[in-house]
């Protein structure tokens, strides 16, 4: 029986509003990287479907979508992009954004992912991140980000359930990146960490 292939990946990690989606989208535009945001996958789901109803029920309250449902939807989207050849695993490093989000999810995806690097984005001002998320909610009509109580609950969930994800990976592959500053400034710091990873991947696959 053929062994399960693993997707070589870089994990963007950090609290809500820290800029994972912005930086992931920028990286995803660079040849050799493919960005898959779980949040974008969830928002693209037909709200009338069973999966869509379940996702909305949790996300609208600032709660994490159940792990099994999250992983099932994520895998379905990933394989769809692969089938469309928008994502080419042999050539592209997968930029993860929003998964794994807790320790249980790291177990659920470990047979599918080879995590090459974890970019741990840190922002010193939680209130600034909350303000940033509310601005984004207005600009992008994101109902789930508009309610401040929901936003604050997301930070609480992150502290209680998500932060322990870092303990699941070896310290030598974790790069802590200061997320304060302009998007270009933060991108430069991320590239300092991920370019060597991409170079190694490229050399092994030419």
Q: Which pLDDT score, from 0 to 100, does residue 127 have?
A: 79
In this structure, is residue 131 part of a structural domain?
yes
Q: Which pLDDT score, from 0 to 100, does residue 171 have?
A: 94
What's the pTM value of the predicted model, to 2 decimals?
Answer: 0.84
- Helices 126-140 and 148-157: crossing angle in degrees, nearest 10, is 130
Letter string b/e over residues 135-172, b meaning 16 or more CB atoms within 10 A of that residue's CB: ebbeeeeeebbeeeebbeebbebbeeebeebeeebeee
Q: How far apart are CA 166 and CA 150, in angstroms?
A: 24
In this structure, is residue 53 part of a structural domain?
no
Digit-by-digit pLDDT tens for the chain (206 residues) are 334 578 999 999 998 888 898 999 999 999 999 999 988 888 888 888 888 888 888 877 767 688 998 999 999 899 999 999 999 998 999 999 989 989 999 999 999 999 999 999 998 777 777 777 877 777 776 666 667 787 888 888 888 888 889 999 999 999 999 998 889 999 999 999 999 988 887 777 65
In this structure, is residue 107 part of a structural domain?
yes
Tokens of 100: 């794994």
Contact yes or no for 166/13 (Cβ under 8 A): yes
Dihedral, CA of residue 107, residue 173, residue 38 and residue 69, to nearest 10: 0
Please choose, from the candidates 19, 60, 88, 27, the residue with its C-alpha nearest in 3D space to the C-alpha of residue 154: 60
In this structure, is residue 99 part of a structural domain?
yes
In this structure, is residue 82 part of a structural domain?
no
Instruction: Assign residue 194 the CATH number of its domain.
Output: 3.40.50.300
Q: Which pLDDT score, from 0 to 100, does residue 2 have?
A: 39
Residue 12: how many CB atoms within 10 A of its CB? 26
Residue 174 structural domain: 7-37+90-205
In this structure, is residue 75 part of a structural domain?
no
Tally of domains in the chain: 1
In this structure, is residue 61 part of a structural domain?
no
CA 57 to chain centre: 20
Q: How far apart are CA 56 and CA 47, in angstroms?
A: 7
Q: Which pLDDT score, from 0 to 100, does residue 200 have?
A: 83
Angle at 163 between CA 161 and CA 118, to 5 degrees: 130
What pairing do the DSSP bridges indicate for beta strands 174-178 and 7-13? unpaired
Q: Which pLDDT score, from 0 to 100, does residue 1 have?
A: 33
In this structure, is residue 176 part of a structural domain?
yes
């Amino acid at each position: 029986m053929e062994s399960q292939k693993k997707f070589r990946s870089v994990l963007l990690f950090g609290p809500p509003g820290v800029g994972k989606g912005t930086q992931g989208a920028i990286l995803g535009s660079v040849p050799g990287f493919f960005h898959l945001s779980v949040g974008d996958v969830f928002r693209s789901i037909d709200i009338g479907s069973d999966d869509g109803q379940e996702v909305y029920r949790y996300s609208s309250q600032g709660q994490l979508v159940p792990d099994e449902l999250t992983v099932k939807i994520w895998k379905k989207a990933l394989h769809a992009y692969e089938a469309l050849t928008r994502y080419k695993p042999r050539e592209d490093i997968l930029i993860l954004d929003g998964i794994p989000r807790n320790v249980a999810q790291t177990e659920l995806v470990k047979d599918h992912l080879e995590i090459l690097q974890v970019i741990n984005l840190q922002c010193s001002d939680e209130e600034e991140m909350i303000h940033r998320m509310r601005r984004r909610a207005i600009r992008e009509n994101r109902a789930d980000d508009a309610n401040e109580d929901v936003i604050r609950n997301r930070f609480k969930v992150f502290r209680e359930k998500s932060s322990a994800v870092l303990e699941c990976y070896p310290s030598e592959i974790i790069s802590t990146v200061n997320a304060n500053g302009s998007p270009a400034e933060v991108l430069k710091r991320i590239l300092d960490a991920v370019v060597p990873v991409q170079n190694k991947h490229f050399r092994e696959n030419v």
